[in-house]
Structure 1
Amino acid sequence: MLDHEQILIRRGPRSGLPVILALHSTALGPAAGGLRLWRYPDWRDGLADALRLSAAMTLKFAAAGLAGGGGKTVVALPQGTRLDPARRRDVLYDVADVIDSMGGVYAVGPDVGTAPADMAVIGEVTPHVFCKPEDLGGSGDSSPHTARGTLAALRAVGRRLYGDGDLEGRRMALIGLGHVGEHLARLLAAEGVELTVTDIDTAKRELAEELGAAWRSPEEIVSADVDILIPAALGGVLTTRAVRDLRCRAVAGPANNQLDTPEVSELLHQRGIVWIPDYIASAGGVINAMTTELHGLGVDQALARVNAIEGTVADLLKTADDLGVTPAQAGLEMARRRIRAAMPETLPRPHRGGAPSPAGAADGPAPFI
């Protein structure tokens, strides 16, 4: 059963590419989510990605206590596509038209394949955009804040495993050295972590050498003998087979949709491996953007909210213990409880705790920006 409020699929009149917008929920407030510009075997794979990622954004906002809902935009590029600057601008204008047509119930930011500079182009057409460059009034690159929030989550995991949040000397394996992964690797190295890293781009070995980190292939690192495995690349890394090969005590990282299937969380639990839901560990970027751009708070206040992810993870683990459930189940219930509490009693409860029906947006939430 489809839990989303709206799904738009339009062929961009300039680019000819499919622009997919999945709006999952506005129960807590106007929706927000990134623009993913990525290559897929088929455009329907992009649609599936948009559906999964937008639902995860709803959980991310709810778990963080933010007044927003989940959405995601995906432009599905055919395999092998390379965008020259002119066509990229066409794609961004096509996306901007779709965003603007939503009338403020959804705002877009960067995601895989996009950056603050792209948000500036979209901002030429619609005000419903966040993480534009700082010199244009936005909060800029969200990657450092996502990395900082993940570090806070790792401190809570360390406290769970060893009784304190000191990460010095802990062994960690980081999968992916993209924008967030590189920032996180530098933070962990500064903490004195014994770091092993990997990336599909072998040129990233230079960063490993700079940080004094060991390098393993993507195939090998999943089974590395470490304290914590940190997924920071694309999703789906935690398959049934991969979990059987894990030699870590915990998994926590900023990658979205880490679980290949929901059942994998139970398998992790059976093996005694602590898994922190990705939508909690990766919330630092959206917390910073919403705190500064929507709520108008200062840098120090935004940082405090990002660092509060440590407390959120600690509460999550305690709740899971108290209820005798997995952290995945505890996280879902925490987020769903907040969503249910925000919904008028006259509206039907969402199927399986998902997003409200389209009627849930009938009153028309205020524009995001």
Structure 2
Amino acid sequence: MEHELVITERGRRSGLPITVAVHATGRGMAAGGCRLEHYPHWRDGLDDALRLSAAMTGKCAVAGLPLGGGKTVVTLPDRRAPAPAARRDLLHDVGDVIASLDGRYATGPDVGTGPDDMTVIAERTRHVFCRPRSAGGSGDSSPHTAAGVLAALRTVCADRFGSADLAGRSFAILGLGRVGAHIAALLAAAGARLIAADVDTARRVVAARHGATWVSPRDCLTAAVDVLVPAALGGLLTAASVPALRCAAIAGPANNQLDAAGTAGLLHERGILWAPDIAVSAGGLIHATAVELLHETPERAAARVHGIGDTLAAILNTARTDAVSPATVVDQLVARSLGPVGSRPKPASGKSSPPADAAGTVTRPAMTSWPSAGSRDRP
């Protein structure tokens, strides 16, 4: 097991399985979003938390943040959003689990949550970021994520086409949620040609607002464009999908775009430049944690976000010099930042943390099935 600490606990109020995975804290406290998502089984949510928290360690390391990686995943029993009262109970349960770690991990928004939810979690723990500005936080992170993506896209165009100018370049934006919509606005303002898609057809109006041609998600993925911009859930780049791609480059904010590490090699073999997502998508994390956790000025935080372009340029230059894929360069960078396993600093245990074994795994009685809706007991 490579994670320092993993907890899966049934919420006292909600009865829902809550997993908090802390991957590494050698560089500083762990940071990562709180995801509310339906999974077939709570163990699938646990698997996602393990994968996403490890990616957060890499994202923080590549961004140069003195933070480690963590993630919260709440497994919802179906795809319906919880009712307001139930949602509040659930978020309080999340806050209680995070509070028990006593500063080892802080959470922010992710799929299924937003800044207002962070305010509710903050009623149970102070280890939270991306609260609304009215609540003393840094506000919605999506504009800063989009700003970082734009910086990365300029770098990608400079590397692939010889100019950072986005005017006249074609982009396929797959996903028009909060971040995708901001990216569409920024690219349209820069004079780019856009096509766009989303599983939610109501987002067609967003595409029209920014002059983007609306297509199906499948057609967007395989469009003949300069750059594909994945801005929805991950896992879309697979051994099956890569042969159908017709783009010259891929760069976007979706996390975990590759279904497996080997897919990066398939893209490299096809001559498709893939900008590693942990570098491209870091703008929101950088801004929020710099302001709220590291207490830097907004100006310094903004400079960090725009530095994503320089970070990506260094990765691409190294990849070209070493004749390897950008993914390989990132893997090497993250490994160096963590150091050998035996030499990594041991994380400080929170005073109120639950008992853990030598591997750092919190012992909880197992949940073998879905908790009943009215359950208030911990597993």
Range of TM-score over shorter length? over 0.9
Give the CA deviation at 1:79. 2.2
Give the CA deviation at 1:44. 1.5
CA distance in 2, matches of 1:273, 1:264: 11
Residue 37 of structure 1 corresponds to which residue in structure 2? 36
SS in 2 for 1:177: coil
CA distance in 2, matches of 1:322, 1:329: 12
CA distance in 2, matches of 1:199, 1:228: 17
Give the CA deviation at 1:170. 0.4
CA distance in 1, matches of 2:162, 2:79: 48
Q: Does 1:90 align with 2:76?
A: no
Q: Is the 8 A contact 2:100 2:350 kept in 1?
A: no
CA distance in 1, matches of 2:53, 2:20: 9
Residue 277 of structure 1 corresponds to which residue in structure 2? 276
The change in CA–CA distance for 1:288 and 1:80 in structure 2 (over 3 A counts) is closer
The amino acid of 2:25's aligned partner reads T
Q: Does 1:325 align with 2:324?
A: yes
Give the CA deviation at 1:362. 4.5
The amino acid of 1:335's aligned partner reads V
CA distance in 1, matches of 2:44, 2:350: 30
Residue 252 of structure 1 corresponds to which residue in structure 2? 251
Query: CA offsets per residue over residues 246-284 of structure 1, 9 Å max, x none?
Result: 001111110001001111000000000111111100000
CA distance in 1, matches of 2:272, 2:103: 41
Give the CA deviation at 1:339. 1.9
Residue 291 of structure 2 corresponds to which residue in structure 1? 292
The amino acid of 1:121's aligned partner reads V
Give the CA deviation at 1:140. 0.9
CA distance in 1, matches of 2:229, 2:151: 13
Within a 5 Å distance, the mapping from 1:1-369 to structure 2 comes to: 2-340=1-339, 348=342, 360-362=346-348
CA distance in 1, matches of 2:101, 2:39: 25
Give the CA deviation at 1:294. 2.5
SS in 1 for 2:235: coil
CA distance in 1, matches of 2:105, 2:148: 24
SS in 2 for 1:73: strand
Q: Alignment RMSD, CA only?
A: 1.5
CA distance in 2, matches of 1:121, 1:11: 18
The amino acid of 2:49's aligned partner reads A
Give the CA deviation at 1:199. 0.2
CA distance in 1, matches of 2:66, 2:302: 18
Which 5+ residue runs of structure 2 have no aligned equivalent? Answer: 352-379
CA distance in 1, matches of 2:297, 2:103: 24
Aligned length: 351
SS in 1 for 2:60: helix
CA distance in 2, matches of 1:250, 1:21: 34
Give the CA deviation at 1:241. 1.3
- Range 52-61 or range 35-44, more displaced: 35-44
CA distance in 1, matches of 2:289, 2:177: 23
Give the CA deviation at 1:296. 2.4
The change in CA–CA distance for 1:199 and 1:121 in structure 2 (over 3 A counts) is same
The change in CA–CA distance for 1:12 and 1:169 in structure 2 (over 3 A counts) is same
SS in 2 for 1:360: coil
The change in CA–CA distance for 1:294 and 1:162 in structure 2 (over 3 A counts) is same
SS in 1 for 2:130: coil
Give the CA deviation at 1:305. 1.0
Query: CA offsets per residue over residues 199-239 of structure 1, 9 Å max, x none?
Result: 00101111111111111101111110000101010010101
SS in 1 for 2:342: coil
Higher helix share: 1
Q: Is the 8 A contact 1:35 1:109 kept in 2?
A: yes
The change in CA–CA distance for 1:80 and 1:316 in structure 2 (over 3 A counts) is closer
Percent of aligned positions with the same letter in both sequences?
54
Query: CA offsets per residue over residues 73-92 of structure 1, 9 Å max, x none?
Result: 00000124431100000100
Runs ≥4 in structure 1, deviation > 3 angstroms? 362-365
Q: Is the 8 A contact 2:104 2:348 kept in 1?
A: no
Q: TM-score, normalised by structure 1?
A: 0.93
Residue 363 of structure 2 corresponds to which residue in structure 1? none
Which 5+ residue runs of structure 1 have no aligned equivalent? Answer: 350-355
Give the CA deviation at 1:301. 2.0
Residue 360 of structure 2 corresponds to which residue in structure 1? none
CA distance in 2, matches of 1:72, 1:167: 34
Give the CA deviation at 1:180. 0.8
The amino acid of 2:223's aligned partner reads A
Q: Is the 8 A contact 2:160 2:273 kept in 1?
A: no
Q: Is the 8 A contact 1:62 1:336 kept in 2?
A: no
CA distance in 2, matches of 1:177, 1:220: 15
CA distance in 1, matches of 2:79, 2:162: 48
- Range 76-85 or range 227-236, more displaced: 76-85
The amino acid of 1:103's aligned partner reads D
The change in CA–CA distance for 1:363 and 1:226 in structure 2 (over 3 A counts) is same
SS in 1 for 2:346: helix
CA distance in 2, matches of 1:77, 1:297: 36
